[in-house]
Amino acid sequence: MGPNLITSAVVRHDVGGNEIGVVIHDGRMDKGMPAFPEITVAQAAEIAAFLHARVASTSRASALSGSTADAGHLLSGNVAAGHAFFNAKCAGCHSSTGDLKGVATKLQGYELMTTMLYPKGAADTGSVTPKASPNKTLKGTFIHRDEFTVTLRTADGMTHTWQTPEVTLHVDDVLRGHRELLHTYTDKDMHDVFAYLDTLR
Ligand code: HEC
């Protein structure tokens, strides 16, 4: 009845239960998932750790087996419909003859599915402006950011650290497009786009 949690974008996007916990706690009544309001943060983190371990072992197994078997049942989608969806929703940022050329040679099966839903490893970039000197904005890649300190590496390779309350942050959030798509995909769209991407070899 429910979606496959190994290919779930929410699971992929989750860090330590932050996404999974919300779904368990609030449920998705409209889609038939009950709420578990009694779940604690620690329990959500444990369930998340279990699911992450299953995702990791599944993608390892699929990499070892050359993944053709796994790709087979993911490939139930319609390539033409996937191509149309791609042109409508993905082509603003991607090109099948540019950055995604050969993506299905590089990634297969679950690995391609989960990457397509929520890519991992995109650089966390943005800029920092000290409140005391608003015209000294630095751009770069965040190495660390939390409510206490921010460390940014600039293009010259130097790292700079500030106390978070003393600066204004602008985070590029390059994966916003993917996060927004997560809420709009139907299961069919997902399989169609996957079937299309699988032709990019
Ligand atoms: C708003 C822009 C945007 C949209 C829309 C978007 N993506 Fe992405 N996509 C990105 C960014 C940014 C990355 C991460 C690039 C990186 O890792 O540096 C990415 C990464 C990917 C990757 C991983 C590529 C690789 O080589 O690892 C795949 C596959 C992908 N997107 C597929 C899709 C598909 C399919 C759609 C439409 C359903 C889509 N994207 C829509 C911006 C977008």
Give how far Cα 28 sits from Cα of 25, 49, 98, Å: 9, 21, 38
Instruction: Report the pLDDT value the prediction gives residue 47, as an integer from 0 to 100.
Output: 94
- CB 157 near ligand 1, within 6 Å: no
Q: How far apart are CA 174 and CA 125, in angstroms?
A: 8
Which residue's CA is the nearest one to ligand 1's atom 30? Answer: 116
d(CA 154, CA 125): 10
Percent of the chain topping pLDDT 90: 52
* pLDDT tens by residue, 110-131: 788 888 888 877 778 999 999 9
Least confident of 12-16, 54-58, 61-65, 90-94: 61-65
pLDDT of residue 176: 84
Per the structure block, which two tokens stand in for 177? 């497009």
pLDDT the model gives residue 91: 94
Is ligand 1 within 6 A of the CB of residue 89?
yes
Compute the distance from residue 103 Cα to the ligand 1 centre, in Å.
Answer: 11
Ligand 1 proximity of 177 Cβ (cutoff 6 Å): yes
Q: What is the pLDDT of residues 54-89, one digit of tens each?
A: 887 776 666 555 544 455 567 778 999 999 999 999
Res. 104 pLDDT band, cuts 50 70 90: very high
Residues 52, 70: Cα–Cα separation, whole Å? 18
Kindly report, residue by residue over 152-190, the tens digit of the pLDDT.
Answer: 999 999 999 999 999 999 998 888 888 888 778 888 898
pLDDT for 69 equals: 44
Residue to mutate (ligand 1; options 110, 116, 191; most atoms within 8 A of CB): 116
- With a CB cutoff of 8 Å and minimum separation 6, the contacts of 189 are 85
Rounded to the nearest angstrom, the distance between the alpha carbon of 124 and the centre of ligand 1 is 15
The whole-angstrom distance between residue 80's C-alpha and the CA centroid of its chain comes to 25
Whether 85 contacts 187, CB under 8 Å: no
Instruction: Say what the pLDDT of residue 38 is.
Output: 94
Q: What is the pLDDT of residue 44?
A: 92
Tokens of 163: 């106390």
User: Any residues with CB less than 8 A from the CB of 55 and at least 6 apart, and which?
Assistant: 6, 11, 12, 110, 114
Separation in Å, CA 93 to CA 79, 89, 121, 127, 176: 20, 9, 17, 22, 12
The pLDDT value recorded for residue 31 is: 85
Q: And the tokens for 134?
A: 């608003």
